[in-house]
Structure 1
Amino acid sequence: MEIIEPLGHHELFLVIAQLTVLLLVARTLGELFRSHGQPAVVGELLAGVLLGPSVLGLFAPGVYEALFVVSEDQFHLLEVISWLGLVMLLIVTGIETDIDLIISKGRTAIVLSVGGIVVPFASGFALGWFLPAAFIAAPEQRIVFSLFIATAMSISAIPVIAKVLIELDVIRRDIGQLILAAGMVDDTIGWILLATVAGLARTGVLDIGSAAATIVSVVVFLGLAFTIGRRLTADLLRWVDNAVGSDTAVLSTVMLLALAAGAITQYVGLEAILGAFVVGVLVGQVKRFDYDLRHAFEVVTLSIFAPIFFAIAGLRMDVAGLVDPTVFAVFLVVLGVACFGKFAGIMGVAPLAGLSRWEGITIGGGMNARGAMEIIVATIGLGAGILTTEMYSIIVAIAIVTSLMAPAIMRWSIPKIEMSDEERDRMERETYLQQSFVENLTRILLPTRGGTDTQYAARLLGPLVRDRDIELDLLCVREPVDGPHGTSTGILGRMRNGRFVRRWRGRRESNATVVTGETDRVFSSVERHLGDPERTPRRITRRRDGSVAETILEEVDVGYDLVVLGETGAGRSPEESLFSDTVDRVVQEAPAPAMIVSTPPAMRLNPPADWAEESLDRILLPTVGTESSRFAAELAFSIAARENALVEVVHVVDAPPFDDRFAGDPDLSQQRRIGEQIVEREAELGRRLGATVLTTVTTSERPEAELVERADRTGADVIVMGSYVRPISRRAYLGSRVEYVIRNASCPVAVLTSI
């Protein structure tokens, strides 16, 4: 087998130097434009023009030639990196695409696509038919040339449009989604036309069969992607997240999927960007790929790879070729026809699509951008012998100019588009979902020994995970083979997921584990309280390694969003420790929020056979307006909405003790007004989540006692509270009031701790 020689020293140096200069100039100009209120993509495109033959080649020809006048093979190295940036940018675009919104506005998108492709194609064909023969590489093939110009006029630059929409922060608005939908349809049709025209140029015969095969390939690929591919993508990301528990592994999987899909679409004669975009759409629908992961991927793409892609696209522009008066005149004519075609097409169908004039201008301005797509078209035309060098320069110039026009037009027109109530509600809902605690839960861990408290915790988790893409895992810790009595001291450790995990060795924890053979009974005793026989949680069995707490913490460290702990050992008097050693340790050190569920002694002595059969009619929700209270409120409302339960939101104003009052009753009206604002804010969230809500603001010298008494008076089935963990004297401390409620309430208490 012949061994391929590695890249030479000079070739490697040159590509690194090229990337350094391109990224430096692109990011510098991008930030400069951003600081003046313009999208960074404008500066990134101009960076290529600045470094190309038009500027650098004119004023510093030696530097330009040393850097960019290279062999085709050398320049192809840059192109590969450019395509990598394009693939990543299309993934980001797909992630930001709301496929449900596009489907709901399908008729509008189709009408816009027809206008955006038919008029530019017709005007482009007419232009090609009447252009001077000097601009046609093969004058005898004018019909092929005209078809090619028509196709070039129909193309839109989705990457440029997407980056502008992202930078203007309107990609999630209806207008942004419509532009993306119409642009993708136009580009798909455009690539089919391009493949057909290129085949016609090569053979001289219009190949209907190739065009039909391309159309079938698009339909089949999209059909498989949004059926089998949707399920495969979700299952694969879930498996990687479960098996590895690493953000880097999930991001790598997304990139691998996009590259594989791009390779498939490229192989069947479509463009790689179609596969990357579709993968982005599918990944955007997977809950495991949460906001933090999206943001991380977007930051790397938009700060490194996308600027390099746009700079390389601008590098192909040679303004000097347009100095000739005839060439410049033809450039102006072609530019006018290109802009007219897109604007006339979109503006003509906008009323039919039910859009306003400003919406038509915005969509026309966005879809008028040609960008790198047009440059690719021009390159194909030059290689196929359709375009002359002058015509190639004209089309590349149009790609740059129209891409520079788009941000200015959209920035001017978008503020004039009024947001409908429906769109405003959707945007507010999306903002809530990004910040929501419950909606961003993907994995919950419930360690269990089969006790009453974990059984009741399962009762609360049942309605929470029902009909949601949340994975619930049950963890049972078994005794080691050498028995439960071995002890040791000291701190050991090992690497887990790239981090050092401590293993504390200390006193033995009695009754904290189960023996081998009992795990099935433990799991079954918890599962029957979930109330959903069709949904079976994942069972995890771990052998105790050191303390039970350490075993639980090692499992939580894999990547859980919430750990739920049933507390059977809660002390009932202030002299006793509130939590067992295991719960205390897990609450303090877990890298995720914890929910502690505690049932009163009477319920532990006489628990029902099946908690799921016990109705959950009333939830008491104390709140003080903090983030932890907000998260607990989400939890309570989500459970109540599925149980048709009433949630009483209570804020207790802390009145000074009688002995501390100097003259009469204190004026607490201001505190009560603040309390009313707090409970009303929480109630508004509850109504939005579909729960029945009652608000109460009361005053008491002992708010914690008032909460316990109110739960008794109103017959509350459970109290849900939020709290922060405060480490005091090597134990978890939730605050005196929360601990009082846990110790004295006659109903179960669930406390959600924030980290």
Structure 2
Amino acid sequence: MEEFHINILNISAVLLSAYLGGVLIRKIGYPAILGELLIGIVLGPAVFGLLEYTESIKVLAEIGIVLLMVYIGMEIDFHDLKKASWPGLLAALGGFFVPFVLGYFTVIWYGGTPMAGLFVAIAIGVTSLATKSRILIDLKLLNTRIALVMMAGALISDTLALVIFSGITNFAESSSVNLRELFLISGKIILFFGVTISVGIFLLPRLGRYLVKSTINNSTAYFTMILIVTFGYCELAELAGMHSILGAFMAGLFLKDNLFPKNITKELNKAFYDVSIGFMAPIFFVSAGFFVDPTVFKTDLLLLFIITTLAIVGKIAGTALFYLPSGNGWREGITIGTGMNGRGAVEIIIAGIGLEMGIIDKTIFSILVFMAIFTTLTVPVLLNWTSKWLRRRGELVYLEKRNGLLILGVNPVSLLMAKYVSKKMPVTLVDNNREMVALAERMNFKCIYGNALDEDIITESNPGNIDTFVGLTPNSQVNLLVGRLMHESFLIPNMYVAVATTKSGVGTDVLKKFSVSTLFAKPVRLDTWFHLIEDQKVKETYEIVNKEISCSLWVEKYADNNILPLLVETENGTLKPFHSGGQLMAGEKVIFLRSRE
């Protein structure tokens, strides 16, 4: 009983440490996994010894690996692969096999076994999917060709790594490998993929259609079904002589939203995310840090430096070299290589299994963990440099550009803004007031009735084409909550919200955290302006900017606060919201309202 109590305390300490490590590292723009690994190294046996690797931690970590691989599989969108199939395949092959070969021969050169060389090679070849979207948004690259190729390349690379890894573990567990054994192993692998793909394509969709028609309306039941399918796939992988993580990954590929009734999909996804990414996976990554030996910086610094350097150079050079047949240029290949340079979940999982199987030792495992940390740290820095390089040369290719505006709130101010902007781009308004929605529709605006915090309602606005979100209700917190949803769920790049007062609870730090700017470049009591417009006590006017100035400084010229700047019209006729982070250029036009009172 006493030992169980200690285990409970240890699990709680590991979870708290994982949370704190993740929060701190995300503040500087990196994925939580790095913080979880680092906190495990520092608080684990290697440094302070405050956290223990108990049997309960081991069990939870192993379940965490399985659930994490399901989640990674569920995140793969086959439509994205189709969009950039050829360039993405080239980037994946070059970014995987060049560092793979370099890593393998480095280990052999250092006296390692061929099997250890293969494990290191796979770990170096993978590409992390952990935070690509966040980085792409921050660098304004989401709608570029390099973003699409990076995502497709990462998906293909990790899938390839898992397949090769499972084949290698199959051979590693065989006592001898002759021609008969080779055919037997190959047959089991082919049979595994044949069965799992057939079940995923033919059986699971039938099950999904049955569930949609059934009276089962309990998300817990569906969550249980996900686990049953997952563990069934894992068992098939084990029977085929491969590791269970490949089975979990294959299960995730086919456990898509359309398998479940639409009304519980959101609840189900959130529950799975919370259990896997929020609970189990952090325990695995913190416990992985327990096995890292920081003394490699003294004893094996040269090997650490060589493997990390080869991982970076091999990934970037390999991607650029193999990317040449795409016809998109070597500079674009280098840029994609810098974006694919990070490692993460899959690499740590593979290294951890190699350590557990005794194929690699603690030193190699520690080097691979530090390599994953160092390479991931380079991604935002190198990708920023190389993407700016492409921009300066005019070689950054944009895909179908988002050009829609979504406005939260139907009111006199939003209708005025929509009047101007609708001449230049599609505008959609959202409100839960039927009368105001009807008014907007009579004015020939596209308007959606419903609660904007409901993702199904927002989906009606076709968020994939939305470039800008404007929160224009008198409630600052509602504006921010919907803006956060638009940013995180639909990756809307430009976010502007109206803030009522400095005491509204929506301060500068909160806005900055969610990449949101203050509309009008100042706090505004919208209700006052609603009445002024309705009573026809405002004048619509404009001012030509004669020199470069920030929006915030421009507003300060009108100390009497009797103006409301709505939009900025550039010299080429583009309209954009007037906001706190904006910079006005000479020749641009500020469209604003002036009170007549």
TM-score by length of 1: 0.47
Paired residue for 1:31? 23
Task: Name 1:90's counterpart in structure 2.
Answer: 69
Partner of 1:348: 321
Which of 253, 256, 265 matches 2:228? 256
| TM superposition shift of 1:27 | 1.2
Which residue, out of 256, 277, 280, partners 2:249?
Answer: 277
Decide whether aligned partners of structure 1 residues 416 and 254 sit closer, same or farther in structure 2, where only a CA change above 3 A counts. Answer: farther
In structure 2, the partner of 1:649 is none
Q: Equivalent residue of 1:350, what SS?
A: helix
Q: CA deviation at 1:417?
A: 7.9
- CA pair 254-335 structure 1, distance change in 2 beyond 3 A: same
Matches of 1:667 and 1:257, distance apart in 2:
63
Partners of 1:331 and 1:41 in 2: how far apart? 20
Distance change in 2, residues 1:630/1:311 (3 Å)? closer
Q: Percent identical across equivalent pairs?
A: 24
Gaps of 5+ in 2: 408-431, 435-440, 461-534, 541-597
Once the 2 structures are TM-superposed, how far is the Cα of residue 78 of structure 1 from its aligned partner? 1.7
How far residue 220 of structure 1 moved from its aligned partner, in angstroms, is 0.9
Alpha-carbon distance in 1 for matches of 2:155, 2:192: 16
> Cα gap change, 1:54/1:168 in structure 2, threshold over 3 Å: closer, same or farther?
same
In structure 1, which of residues 333, 347, 350 is the aligned counterpart of residue 306 of structure 2?
333
* Counterpart AA for 1:306: A
Partner of 1:479: none
Q: CA deviation at 1:394?
A: 3.0
Q: Give the Cα separation in 1 of the matches to 2:63 and 2:318.
A: 33
The Cα of 1:178 is off from its aligned counterpart by 0.9
The answer to whether the 8 A contact 2:293-2:363 is kept is no
- Residue 303 of structure 1 corresponds to 278
Distance 1:373 1:34, change over 3 A: closer
Contact persistence 1:382–1:389 (CA under 8 A)? yes
The corresponding residue for 2:487 is none
**Deviations along 1:120-165, whole A, 9 cap, x unmatched?**
232233223322x4xx4xxxxx5555445444433x26xxx23323
The alpha-carbon deviation at position 89 of structure 1 amounts to 3.1
Task: Tell me the SS of whatever aligns to 2:20.
Answer: helix
* Residue 42 of structure 1 pairs with residue 34 of structure 2: yes
Task: Report the Cα distance in structure 2 between the residues aligned to 1:90 and 1:389, rounded to whole angstroms.
Answer: 24
Structure 1 183/17 Cα, relative in aligned 2: closer, same or farther at 3 Å?
farther
Gap change, CA 1:394 and 1:108, over 3 Å in 2? same
Q: Deviations over 1:345-398 (max 9, x none)?
A: 212122323556676456534654444544454455456554455444434443
- The 8 Å contact of residues 371 and 402 in structure 1, kept in 2 or not, is answered as no
Q: Which residue of 2 aligns with 1:164?
A: 131
Say which structure, 1 or 2, has more relative contact order (CA 8 Å, 6+ apart): 2
Separation (CA, whole Å) in 2 of partners of 1:252 and 1:410: 41
Distance 1:47 1:103, change over 3 A: same
RMSD: 4.4
Q: Give SS of 2:241's match.
A: coil
Deviation at 1:224, TM superposition (A): 1.0
After superposition, the Cα gap between the structure-2 partners of 1:353 and 1:19, relative to the gap in structure 1 and judged at 3 Å, is farther
C-alpha contact 2:84 2:149 (8 A) present in aligned 1: no
The answer (yes or no) to whether the contact 2:25–2:35 under 8 Å persists in 1 is: yes
1:97–1:177 Cα contact (<8 Å) kept: no
CA–CA separation in structure 2 for the residues paired with 1:101 and 1:378: 28
Match of 2:85 among 103, 106, 111: 106
Are 2:457 and 1:628 aligned? no
Contact persistence 1:52–1:318 (CA under 8 A): no
Matched, 1:20 2:20: no
Secondary structure of 2:80 counterpart: helix
Aligned length: 417
Q: SS at the partner of 1:85?
A: helix
**Kept in 2: contact 1:94–1:280 (CA 8 A):** yes
Q: Whole-Å Cα distance in 2 between the matches of residues 25 and 630 of structure 1?
A: 37
**CA–CA distance in structure 2, aligned partners of residues 628 and 245 of structure 1:** 26
1:260 maps to a residue whose letter is G
Pairwise CA distance, 1:628: 2.3
Superposed counterparts of 1:404-423, under 5 Å: 404-406=377-379, 409=382, 422-423=399-400
- Residue identity matched to 1:283: L
Contact conserved, 1:95 with 1:280, CA < 8 A, in 2? yes
Cα offsets for 1:490-536 (capped at 9, x unmatched): xxxxxxxxxxxxxxxxxxxxxxxxxxxxxxxxxxxxxxxxxxxxxxx
Paired position in structure 1 for 2:219: 247
Is 1:185 the counterpart of 2:159? The answer is yes
2:182 counterpart residue number: 208
- CA offsets per residue over residues 434-481 of structure 1, 9 Å max, x none? xxxxxxxxxxxxxxxxxxxxxxxxxxxxxxxxxxxxxxxxxxxxxxxx
TM-score normalized with structure 2 length? 0.58
- The separation in 2 between residues aligned to 1:296 and 1:380, in whole angstroms, is 27
- Paired with 2:277 and 2:119, the residues of 1 have a C-alpha distance of 32
* Contact 1:115-1:349 at 8 Å conserved across structures: yes
Residue matched to 2:98: 119
State the one-letter code of the partner of 1:394: I
Give the structure 2 partner of residue 438 of structure 1. none
Letter paired with 1:309: F
Matched letter for residue 222 of structure 2 = V
Larger radius of gyration: 1
